[in-house]
Amino acid sequence: MNSITKLEPENGRPFGSAPIPPPIYPGIERRSFYLHMRDDVKLAMTVLLPKGLPAGVKIPALVSQSRYWREMELRPPLNWFLSPDIFLRRMRGYKPFFVQRGYVMVLVDERGTGASFGRWSSPWHAETMEDARQVVDWIIAQPWSNSRVGSYGISYLGTTAEQYAALCHPAVKAALPMFNHPDPYRDIGFPGGVFNQRFVRAWDEMGRELDLNHIPAEFGWGARLLLRGVRPVDRDRRRRELRQALLGHDGNTNIFSLGEAISCRDDRVGEIQISVEDVSLGRYHTELEQSQTAVFGWGSWMDGGTADAVLRRFAAYPSCQRAVIGAWEHGGTAHSSPYGKPDRLADPPLAAQWSEMLRFFDAHLKDGAEQLSERVLFYYNLGEEAWQRTPVWPPAGTRPERWHLSSGRQLLPDPPGDETGVDLYEVDFNASTGERNRWWELGGVFGKSVVYPRRAEAAAHLLVYLSPALERDVQIAGSAQINLYLSSSESDGAVYAYLEDVHPDGQVTYLAEGQLRLVHRKPSGEPAPGVPPGHGHTFLRKDVLPLVPGQVVKVCFSLLPVAALVRKGHHLRLGIAGHDQGTFVRLPTSGSPVLSIFRTSLYPSSIEIPVVGE
């Protein structure tokens, strides 16, 4: 087992070290107004133009369609001389960065949100696609437009940015979806089929507060004192239109109540009878496969399922020739490598990240710009704490290395010879990954790192298997696969698996995790479009398979992907749990389930780890 072969950075530079070009224009001019949609619903829109743009000069536009207020308004007198962007660290400075370098920025409140009229019936509804098409048509009709449009956004806005690519509109030349969830079931709402109760509840509550023009509690008491709410359009000085728009938001859908009623991705619930499948970008697979819009996807090893989403996109769509996976929180503001201290500044810094985005947009939206024709995935290698690059994923030379669950709670390369080996685990519903784990994405709003604390002590709540000390450095690159033979005392439940690095001094570093609701264990056969092999569960109602208490079944699922260098002398640790308290819903809802994990020659439970080299 060898450490990864280092690759030369693109054009001799590592990711994030490209020179930052100087501004072209001295400042920003701002305009906001309502754009009437085809059904006469009015969308609030802000246009940021370069100050001093000469008449007749045509430049590209970058569009962002938001569910979280396109702009905020400060309370008087602060709104006379301050920008509200200073209260969101990830936002600070990015607008002038792009506008002063020759872009128009178009910010849109999605229908039924912010200062826009209409009703928000669900995330990423089909109506928003048609709204996006009309926004693009408006942009290219403007006298300053060069008829080229790019879309961008983080999280929810990242998925709307990807919707712009699915339009197959000839003017949309580039899309930059960042830290988003194109498959909201798999990537954030129900990873492994288990309801992400904490996040969905908080996200829904925050959205409903925003829709009523209230300052959410997550923003903190300081924001409540300083912020007035969403910014009205310019003509609405008396806020009459804003008040009228807000009345229509009362009927917006309560997502958490729908989530509580969902078990399968095709369950249709609520008055609108909508499923998670209906709002997944998978329904636009053909359009995205045929789209000529260049896509540059961003994610993080430590952020929900966003890295997995980046890799699925990179593998599935020809237009996605460029991608990056860092060690960030949800948004790229703070560094979140588990091998360092929390709440450090991002690597690379925000300005360097913006410069990478600028190079991508320039290449596709401006004449005479540097072209980026090479297929490349940039990724941060945990443990090595360095950036790498590869044209394929997993990197060349990656192979699965199998470790077997063995007696004495060991992970061993040889299969077990024991005919009676079994470990009993009474599910400990106090097992937890803490308050700032990868699934708590709202922490990214304020630049808080993802943290997995006290993992050594967590062993008291888990069933843990430890490898011998490694004889060489081991480079992991990809998604580990869990193969468990187990029985349960209940007909439903969940299994969580954690892959971790145990240092010689006993310190434990979290690397990756995966989970599966056991009624979804049926293998799916051929993967769905855009879903690679190893993600073999449909999560469809027709494939639900309750457990028969006491019956041995094979359960296979993938951990989320990771790139990590585990050093010689360290140990690999596999932790197994039946719950993640404080994050996911309890399964089953009552009782004290006991899992029997088998490790015999007939039932050889194991983990396959993707390792680069011999």
Evaluate whether 414 touches 41 at the Cβ level (below 8 Å): no
SS3 for 91-102, per residue? HCCHHHHHHCCC
Choosing from 109, 236, 303, 347, which is the catalytic residue? 303
**Rounded Cα gap, residues 192 and 195, in angstroms:** 9
Ranges of beta strands (E only) in 351-406 are: 376-381, 386-390, 398-406
Neighbours of 141 (CB within 10 A): 9
**Cα Rg of the chain, angstroms:** 25
Neighbours of 75 (CB within 10 A): 12
Q: Which region holds residue 370: left if phi is over 0, alpha if psi is between -120 and 50, else beta?
A: beta
Six-digit token pair at 7?
């690759």
**Rounded Cα gap, residues 178 and 333, in angstroms:** 12
Choosing from 330, 404, 537, 570, which is the catalytic residue? 330
Six-digit token pair at 255?
């997502």
Closest to 295 measured CA to CA, from 440, 177, 131: 177
**Rounded Cα gap, residues 596 and 588, in angstroms:** 16
Helix H or strand E encompassing 35 = strand 28-36
Q: Check if 330 is active-site.
A: yes
* Dihedral of the alpha carbons of 373, 376, 380, 383, in degrees to the nearest 10: -140
Q: Check if 308 is active-site.
A: no
Six-digit token pair at 195?
């309801």
Helix H or strand E encompassing 465 = strand 463-466
Choosing from 32, 66, 121, 155, which is the catalytic residue? 155
Q: Which residue has 């054009």 as its token pair? A: 11
Q: Check if 155 is active-site.
A: yes
- DSSP three-state, residue 68: coil
**Rounded Cα gap, residues 315 and 84, in angstroms:** 39
Name 398's bridge partners.
Answer: 612
- Catalytically annotated residues: 155, 303, 330
